[in-house]
A and B are shown apart, each in its own frame.
Chain A
Amino acid sequence: MRKGPWRFFRNFKNRLIFGHYGKNVYIDSRVRIVRPRFISIGDNVTISADTDIYVHPFDRDSKELIIQIGHNVHIGRNNIIGARKSVILEENVLIGPHVMIGDHSHGYEDIEIPIKFQETTEAGPVRIERDSWIGANVFILPNVTIGRHSVVGANSVVNRDIPPHSVAVGAPARVIKRYDFDLKEWVKVNG
């Protein structure tokens, strides 16, 4: 983590523009954030370079926090977080590079209009519970909850909920390992 003198001033500025801003936050200078008013950031958060965070709320005058980032969250390089309704990252979440989290997607139903100009679909909340780890190049679709202390492997597409204490990989992601509380160890899951 770089600790230049400008970090102090940038944190001071960010404290004014963010919805909530914790202590000891490091946001790289190449991070781009659209509408920081809707974002809350906890303590000891790191957001690495080239990350984009877009908030496009349905109601721009509302005061609710759309993206909530907990304490000790690390967000890697080149991530993209697009939010319209709610994206929640709980405490101690680790996110790798090139991850995309979106809580809305493009409509394509009308074939007369280009997809680019169609309305986005209705947003569904994304929630990543505490202590979990998201690998590189993962795409997280709307309406997904990733349970506590679970791992999502690299290059996977998460389109449904992942239970707590599990390892999920692939496109679409399926659980391959789980923590067995009786045996006190990680067990492989078949099928």
Chain B
Amino acid sequence: MKKWFWYPVANIKNRFLFGAYGKDVYIEPGVVINRPRFVHVGNHVRIKRNTSINLHPKDKRSKEILFFIGDNVIISESCFISACNHLVIEENVGISPNVMIIDNSRKPGDISRPSKEQKVESGYVHIGADSWIAYGACVLPNVTIGRHCIIGALSVVNKDIPPYSVAVGSPAKVVKRFDLEKRTWVKVSNEEGADGLDEKKVGKPQ
């Protein structure tokens, strides 16, 4: 009774609240979206309960869309998504429970003031089509994840991931790649995989 009565009502209500709202969208109760006006939701999107989506635009009166969700995207339980500037999830992406995607973070700055009061630096996050982000992964700002990637469970992504690859660990490293000539998945050795993901660069303070 609850379900089939309230979802159409909520969908009609959401069509007015969101920046753009597709067909057949299913947002479960318990999802918290603080400023839905800045969200673009495509068709056939499902957002499961306890997910919180926080949007903190610089200009609150602007009409641009900060957080883009493509078609056929599923966002599972208790995810945390925070968008300040530019966050894109392309179509057919699956996001597992407990995943955290942020496009803004704090940088070490003035030591005389608490870091809570200092400015938050915002970047961008782009998650390519057909990807899968496994349980508990964390995607940090200024990251582009390519097409058809898999991000392993509980990994931290702080560098770009090339398309058609499997990345695990914290910080995430590419362990498998699709070889387009041989048409198979090939294992990447550590030295070879480190070219885009140099550990020294990762640890460097900014």
Residues of A within 8 A of B (CB): 50, 52, 78, 80, 98, 100, 102, 106, 108-109, 111, 113-117, 137, 139, 141, 155-157, 171
Contact = CB atoms under 8 A, between A and B. Distances in A.
B135 A115 contact: no
Contact of A116 (B74, B170, B185): B74
B77 A80 contact: yes
Contact of B132 (A80, A106, A111): A106
Contacts, number: 77
Contacts of A156: 154
A100 B97 CA distance: 9
B72 A114 contact: yes
Contact of B164 (A52, A111, A157): A111
Given A52-B77, A78-B77, A116 B98 contact: no
Given A50-B77, A115-B132, A157 B178 contact: no
Given A78-B78, A100-B136, A114 B98 contact: no
B130 interface: yes
Interface of A is mostly: loop
Chief secondary structure at chain B's binding surface:
loop
Contacts of A141: 153
Given A78-B78, A113-B130, A115-B130, 7 more contacts: A98-B136, A100-B98, A100-B153, A116-B74, A139-B135, A141-B153, A155-B136
A168 B155 CA distance: 18
Contacts of B92: 114-117
B131 interface: yes
Nearest to B76: A80
A117 B129 CA distance: 12
Contacts of A117: 92
A114 B70 CA distance: 13
- For chain B, which range describes its interface: under 10, 10 to 19, 20 to 34, or 35 or more residues? 20 to 34
A50 B130 contact: no
Contact of B135 (A50, A100, A114, A116): A100
Given A117-B92, A171-B169, A155 B154 contact: yes
Given A100-B136, A108-B166, A139-B136, A80 B154 contact: no
Interface string B58-80: 00000000000000101001100
Given A106-B132, A116-B93, A117-B92, A111 B178 contact: yes
A171 B98 contact: no
Contact of A114 (B50, B129, B178): B129
Contacts of B74: 116
Given A108-B132, A114-B130, A137 B154 contact: yes
B199 to A, nearest CB: 16
Contacts of B169: 171
B19 interface: no
B126 interface: no
B154 A116 contact: no
**Interchain residue pairs A-B with the least CB separation, the first 8:** A114-B92, A114-B130, A115-B132, A139-B153, A116-B94, A100-B135, A139-B135, A108-B150
Nearest to B132: A115
B89 to A, nearest CB: 12
Given A108-B166, A115-B130, A117-B92, A157 B154 contact: yes
